[in-house]
Structure 1
Amino acid sequence: MTPRDGSDAHDSRWSDLDRPPLGAAGLRRSLVRGDGLWSSVEVVPRTGSTNTDLVERAVAGSAQEGAVLIAEEQSAARGRLDRRWSAPPRSGLFFSLLVKPGEHEVPVARWGWLPLLTGVAVASALSATAGVDTALKWPNDLLVTVDGEERKAAGILAEGSGAGGVVIGVGLNVSLRADELPVPTAGSLALAGAKVLDREPLLRAVLRSFERWYLEWCAAEGDPGLSRLQEAYAAGCATLGRSVRAILPGDRELVGEAVAVDGDGRLVILSADGGREAVGAGDIVHLRPA
């Protein structure tokens, strides 16, 4: 078959008919509008990391707000704490987008909500489009249920790009089969029984959902209450109401019940002695079901 994005047709990895390539032209037609957020949509056959590439473009001034870069395959994808991960070509949605909240008069102090906003946007889009139940694990994971167990199906990474820009990367497992999972705790939309596995309508839904949430958040100058972002995140967060272990910077650990997400997007943990601590960074381990 001939790839729709113009990549080499002789590449044998394009022969998987169950995983057709994305159509960049169709995505641009449906997403790029004069009055919308998205300014460009590009699909590349493979790269090291879409986040790295888009950060470099933003720093060089060759990408504007609303640029979207999608890769069919990544060889050096990164998650939080510089963790590496990989997936078979065209088995998921691997993309990064550039936003500039400062141009919308959003104070820098509120930019920490961007990964959480992205989680809300992705989760709501997948629930509506793929018909799969999703949940958010603070701060940047999206969970699905596979064989009665919570599994991570997506991760989010936000990075500053200079000049008031933030690049947000999303890696979503769509069609991964059980024998392709990188770790036993991973999942995919296919394994969760999603009704839709066609990546193009899924990507369009995710980007439109992000556009809606981001523009409403910007219109509220980043206020998570006024934009209803804080309420939406709390409603979809599987971490709240659970006993958790927080592994904090400096190898410090905090165990307690996750009771709230505060106005700064931090996770509030109630310890056994009744003390409360707001955690802004760290790894969270769920210790028991909600």
Structure 2
Amino acid sequence: MTPPNDSDNPPNRWSDLDRPPLSAASLRRALVREGGLWTSLDVVAATGSTNTDLAARADELPEGAILVAEEQSAGRGRLDRRWSAPPRSGLFFSVLLKPDDVPVERWGWLPLLTGVAVAAGIARAAGVDTALKWPNDLLVTVDGQERKAGGILAERAGSVGGGIVVGIGVNVSLRADELPVPGAGSLELAGASGTDRDPVLRAVLRELERWYGDWRAAGGDPAPSRLQEAYAAGCATLGRRVRAELPGGRDVTGEAVAVDGDGRLVLATEDGVREPVGAGDVVHLRPAGEG
């Protein structure tokens, strides 16, 4: 009998041996425990958006629910930007947080807190230094150039008391020929010591639990919880000349000099004004340290 040829057996998009599937049971054993933050963990083969799915159930789920997708077809970033990648090439997940004992005005620190946790987890599990671009991008260095390897999106969910859904996307094993745009990157392209997603996900979630616990114990105050200090230390935006594209079409250009107690980026403009930016898109105009 003639063996089947490639056209008879087209490649299975789930059969890439370099990208093994995540085990929900193994992750639950490692992360879900009595008295801990994480209360449930589910892994789905594919979905449109883990943020959308988790937000739809925010009222019925307890704090600490985790939803992971092996593939997202309608993943979203800030400003409704799309986030897509091949199946099992990255980590695409959302968590439900309900910091009811923290003043709502301090909830804006949650995406920054998540960035600190993700950077720490990646450094520990993959050996890659990740910088934070205010407010929600994760940067790695590939061939001497800064590339975006991930992002964070925090959204209010459910009714009053529904909480916050925080979505995280990280390109892990994405190869150069798979990059969606030239400015993208991945942990693999940045020289990761390994691209097994399981230990990276575990490390990120453990760091997130630790930072969230400290921040919540401090009533959401970023100073005593050391969150403000940690974010500033890892923020690639500080010390650079940037352009902030604000809602309403206004732009502000200046040097990013601080992240204030409300999590806003403070720009020193050429006319001597220090202007805090709480929302908008930030463009790095020059590398840190350049005059």
Q: Same fold (TM over 0.5)?
A: yes
How far is 1:11 from its partner? 9.4
- Name the Cα RMSD after superposition: 1.1
How far is 1:276 from its partner? 0.7
Match of residue 121 from structure 2: 125
Given candidates 178, 181, 184, the residue that maps to 1:183 is: 181
Q: Distance in 2 between matches of 1:66 and 1:12?
A: 34
Pairwise mapping of residues 62-211 of structure 1 onto structure 2 (< 5 A)? Answer: 63-102=61-100, 105-162=101-158, 163-164=160-161, 165-211=163-209
Pairwise mapping of residues 186-265 of structure 1 onto structure 2 (< 5 A)? Answer: 186-265=184-263
Render the CA deviation track for 1:194-216: whole Å, top value 9, x for unaligned.
10210000000000000000011
Match of residue 27 from structure 1: 27
Match of residue 3 from structure 1: none
Match of residue 48 from structure 1: 48
Unaligned segments of structure 1, at least 5 residues: 1-9
> Partner of 1:17: helix, strand, or coil?
coil
> Partner of 1:58: helix, strand, or coil?
coil
Kindly name which structure, 1 or 2, has the bigger radius of gyration based on alpha carbons: 2
Q: Distance in 1 between matches of 2:110 and 2:11?
A: 37
1:23 maps to a residue whose letter is S
Match of residue 5 from structure 1: none
1:14 maps to a residue whose letter is W
Query: Identity of counterpart residues, as a percentage?
Result: 75
After the TM superposition, which segments of 4 or more aligned residues of structure 1 sit over 6 Å from their partners?
none
Match of residue 6 from structure 1: none
Q: Distance in 1 between matches of 2:154 and 2:11?
A: 32
How far is 1:138 from its partner? 0.1
Render the CA deviation track for 1:111-136: whole Å, top value 9, x for unaligned.
00000000000001111221111100
> Partner of 2:14: helix, strand, or coil?
helix
Render the CA deviation track for 1:220-248: whole Å, top value 9, x for unaligned.
01000010000000000000000000000
Q: Distance in 1 between matches of 2:80 and 2:232?
A: 26
1:122 maps to a residue whose letter is V
How far is 1:44 from its partner? 0.2
> Partner of 2:68: helix, strand, or coil?
strand
> Partner of 2:199: helix, strand, or coil?
helix
Render the CA deviation track for 1:180-201: whole Å, top value 9, x for unaligned.
0000000000000010210000
Q: Distance in 2 between matches of 1:56 and 1:275?
A: 43
Larger helix percent:
1
Q: Distance in 2 between matches of 1:221 and 1:142?
A: 26
Q: Distance in 2 between matches of 1:157 and 1:130?
A: 22
How far is 1:12 from its partner? 2.0
